[in-house]
Structure 1
């Protein structure tokens, strides 16, 4: 943020707003939840976040974790479908998603909350202000036949009620409470595909992974083997990898922002109606995909009233303001200023910073307004290019360290197999062969001896092959250590380790976490010593 005189009033206003947001309001104890659990969380799972509602009700949410090395860090993801005939609606495109809340117990991660289920009729009625509903199986079906405006107003009512009556259980950031709203379509699709819980390849599939291989066990769609033309109560089917139920099928779900066409890899500039995602119980299975986008008009042309249909429902998200306190504003400012800087080497960073400072000074001193504007535009373009470069570098570093951890794990496995075969040869097969060779050579002994010699040859061949495998694995591992350490500084690598570990943990790959640390240690040794001792690397991995 600039320190020029013209920018100071705006900065002061931002500080005032941040201070106002951070004002601490005494919390009130949440109202007790009296509804039966099956009415708001029919499939409980570890990590569920349950927030109360009026009337003794509740709504269940799931944490959607995103890797993050800082407030201004975000996740670049590929969304959409690779279907040329519908490319103008949902062609592949890159977007960015970020979390709202920090969890100090989980470094390298920020998160937002997504409704575990679609909003039900009972939950809707609990905030309607009338008589409290009696939660039953009938009121456990998704609330539909409400407009986008109704859904936005519902989020407002719920936010105000939570902040007033249950602030202590509502997630907060820097002392500022979160709020409830419709999800953005990027948040929704990231969560629908499985987020950090799935591999990059699986993330791009048309639907989230379904281990049973039977779609009817995960989503309600048109047909006698599934929905049979009607809505169904929430939570009856299996969830996606983030434990979100009915994220595809049953009721379709409204998004927060307006619809835009896809213009060959990016969204078009015209904002239209609102976005509907997820498909519904009236659609055939082949039309229900994570990337499918549908536009709905805000108003029905026939009646002129806000659009509402029997298929159209909603799922809520919990997010937070971005500038939540004066301290957060200062943190954002520091990160923003540092973003264009290169960290590959201090010398590079100093040269780039000096060049940009010189450009800023020349712009300030320029007597001609056009020249001043041109110089400032050049400086901004350079900074944007540096930010893009650094983002790409960080993704590459995480990928390389991940590969290094995988190679380290493979090298350890190969070495253990080699040791096991060697022990079997020297401690079992060879003594048995010598014993046979020492016995009187009758026909039976000669046959046993021939079999033992053939087995020994086979085992020796296996050992030789494993020795080649270990040698190749070691060479590839050492090359990866050397090339990564040579291309990226320890500072750059270390900054990405918490984020990579969070990604691995989310994918259930905790077994690789020790190998991340070992790979980073080996790169540090290489920088310190100028070379890598292959045998010491193997010893570290196998001890």
Structure 2
């Protein structure tokens, strides 16, 4: 029986059940495929697998100026002393990291570009979505067997590709009992098989390695811990507050509260008193996280690419390198042990010297490429040289007046080696401090834009309340109700004062916004736009308010003042 026939023989009832759980999207997703993609989404992308199979990927993006730009994210969890995990905070405690994608839309195969074009922000003001790709599901036993069977043919010791593995009841289970080295071997063989049989299916930077521009190929690898956790938390699909939470938002359509974890994760519910036995489950039996990933919590725990580093109390990694990292918890653990920052350290080798493996740990894959291919050298150099310049903080400082640039010019004209080394150290320290301030100002600029939008929304609400009070006051005057007139007159006066106070705050915000470097402020607006677009109701209103605020900031930048009355009329749509 052919592989396609075997897949078609899966029970119809299962197909119907899986089809009913697929998430709605703007375009109709593909039909459910229980072996490879039981819960298709409209914006999935796929890579071919041996035996006419496929591996489904999800995209994660960061709005950035270039491949050198990135976004600061928080990993782990800030345990309090009463939390069960506090005594092991050095394993999974709060720490900071940075994330960015490696692929631009132009690097993707045409079918991927067509699939994703309507789902990505258009960017603007120097920002564009930088993407990375991560497995939608954990690698299954069937996928693992199909790829690993290719090794003799890929090595040339077998003339023909191998026969396809036979699908059975365990085929859809995550592949466990594999070592970290086994997982790496899978990614290596899969990349080699793709390169030999479906090279055009992979993204390629700037035309790929054979282009005159000096592009780079992509390859299959394990995700880094930061890539894994950012995606598991919801990535670009959630706002900053949700990214800081213990678990990703778990809400079905029109729900106002998070649903029970059992609808999103396979774990040991006996701990919670349900009496249900825990066992490894097939892929896609629960709901996806906001980024469209399945089983990031529970089911099989997952290995990542980078080695384990302990967490320092100051929120950074320590310097000692350990074993391999396992993320997300597994099906034998209770709900209290499961959170997106969960991580454990396992030894690379057991006591007998063999690579470590167990029945609860598997993996999912990601796509990677070179961080600095030759085709990006000029762009990366330009961004690197601009890092740490005072001129990036405000438009009031020109490049010629930038203290860092002037110091570098002095160093270039210094003949005395010891003095040049001392000045170079000073220059690097200055750049580090300026870069830190720049990151803080970026964060403050984004917060200012959102705050101003909220103040504008408050002004609108105050005005609605004032209109209602004035209407009631007019009625009281017509009725000659003196008691009501006094109460309502006080309410109108207080409401007017509150509105004027909020307007004053709004104008101050506009003046503050004008002190930021224009390019940076516009880039932060693009990021705020992207975040507000994900808020279902208030987001659209705040987005309109934020857009108007940017106009007022530009007006203040030009005239160094704003007239309160025209601004208020614009805020109220008069």
Structure 1 residue 118, shift from structure 2 partner = 0.8
1:50 has 2:46 as partner: yes
Q: What is the aligned counterpart of 1:356 among 399, 407, 411?
A: 407
Please list the CA deviations of residues 164-200 of structure 1 after superposition, one character each: whole Å capped at 9, or x if unmatched.
4334443333223432211111111111122233333
Q: What is the aligned counterpart of 1:101 among 77, 81, 103?
A: 103
Tell me which residue corresponds to 1:153.
185
8 Å Cα contact 1:418/1:467 also seen in 2: yes
1:183 has 2:199 as partner: no
CA distance, structure 1, for counterparts of residue 469 and residue 343 of structure 2:
56
Structure 1 residue 163, shift from structure 2 partner = 3.6
User: TM-score, structure 1 length as denominator?
Assistant: 0.82
Task: Select between 43-52 and 180-189 the one with higher mean Cα deviation.
Answer: 43-52
Q: What is the aligned counterpart of 1:201 among 241, 252, 256?
A: 241
CA distance, structure 2, for counterparts of residue 277 and residue 125 of structure 1:
23
CA distance, structure 2, for counterparts of residue 140 and residue 356 of structure 1:
61
CA distance, structure 1, for counterparts of residue 323 and residue 59 of structure 2:
29
Q: What is the aligned counterpart of 2:70 among 71, 74, 89?
A: 74
Query: Alpha carbons of 1:304 and 1:491: their partners in 2 closer, same or farther (altered >3 Å)?
Result: closer
Tell me which residue corresponds to 2:343.
293
Tell me which residue corresponds to 2:114.
none
Tell me which residue corresponds to 2:146.
126
8 Å Cα contact 1:220/1:226 also seen in 2: no
**CA RMSD across the alignment:** 2.8
8 Å Cα contact 2:303/2:325 also seen in 1: yes
Correspondences of 1:261-272 after superposition (within 5 Å)? 261-264=310-313, 265-272=315-322
Please list the CA deviations of residues 395-422 of structure 1 after superposition, one character each: whole Å capped at 9, or x if unmatched.
2212211222222233233334434554
CA distance, structure 1, for counterparts of residue 453 and residue 247 of structure 2:
29
* Structure in which a larger fraction of residues adopt helix: 1
SS in structure 2 of the partner of residue 382 of structure 1: helix
Q: What is the aligned counterpart of 1:471 among 473, 488, 500?
A: 500
CA distance, structure 2, for counterparts of residue 541 and residue 40 of structure 1:
52
Correspondences of 1:245-394 after superposition (within 5 Å)? 245-264=294-313, 265-301=315-351, 303-326=352-375, 328-341=376-389, 342-343=391-392, 344-345=394-395, 347=397, 349-351=399-401, 352-363=403-414, 365-366=415-416, 368=417, 370-394=418-442
Structure 1 residue 138, shift from structure 2 partner = 2.8
Tell me which residue corresponds to 2:532.
504
CA distance, structure 1, for counterparts of residue 489 and residue 199 of structure 2:
69
Task: Select between 206-215 and 111-120 the one with higher mean Cα deviation.
Answer: 206-215
CA distance, structure 1, for counterparts of residue 275 and residue 135 of structure 2:
23
CA distance, structure 2, for counterparts of residue 491 and residue 169 of structure 1:
36
CA distance, structure 1, for counterparts of residue 164 and residue 233 of structure 2:
36
Please list the CA deviations of residues 485-514 of structure 1 after superposition, one character each: whole Å capped at 9, or x if unmatched.
2x3132331233223322333555344332
8 Å Cα contact 1:254/1:277 also seen in 2: yes
CA distance, structure 1, for counterparts of residue 469 and residue 34 of structure 2:
55
Query: Alpha carbons of 1:74 and 1:507: their partners in 2 closer, same or farther (altered >3 Å)?
Result: farther
CA distance, structure 2, for counterparts of residue 162 and residue 116 of structure 1:
18
8 Å Cα contact 2:70/2:98 also seen in 1: yes
1:116 has 2:98 as partner: no
CA distance, structure 1, for counterparts of residue 67 and residue 276 of structure 2:
43
Query: Alpha carbons of 1:537 and 1:213: their partners in 2 closer, same or farther (altered >3 Å)?
Result: same
Which structure has the larger Rg over C-alpha atoms?
A: 1
Tell me which residue corresponds to 1:88.
90
Structure 1 residue 235, shift from structure 2 partner = 1.2
1:484 has 2:504 as partner: no
Please list the CA deviations of residues 43-67 of structure 1 after superposition, one character each: whole Å capped at 9, or x if unmatched.
2223222222121111222111223
What are the ranges of 5 or more consecutive residues in structure 2 without an aligned counterpart? 9-31, 80-85, 107-120, 150-161, 209-216, 252-257
Q: What is the aligned counterpart of 1:215 among 251, 261, 279?
A: 261
8 Å Cα contact 2:238/2:531 also seen in 1: no
SS in structure 1 of the partner of residue 460 of structure 2: helix
CA distance, structure 2, for counterparts of residue 502 and residue 184 of structure 1:
25
8 Å Cα contact 2:142/2:167 also seen in 1: yes
1:527 has 2:573 as partner: no
1:65 has 2:116 as partner: no
Query: Alpha carbons of 1:413 and 1:157: their partners in 2 closer, same or farther (altered >3 Å)?
Result: farther
Please list the CA deviations of residues 102-141 of structure 1 after superposition, one character each: whole Å capped at 9, or x if unmatched.
2376323212112111111121122122432354553111
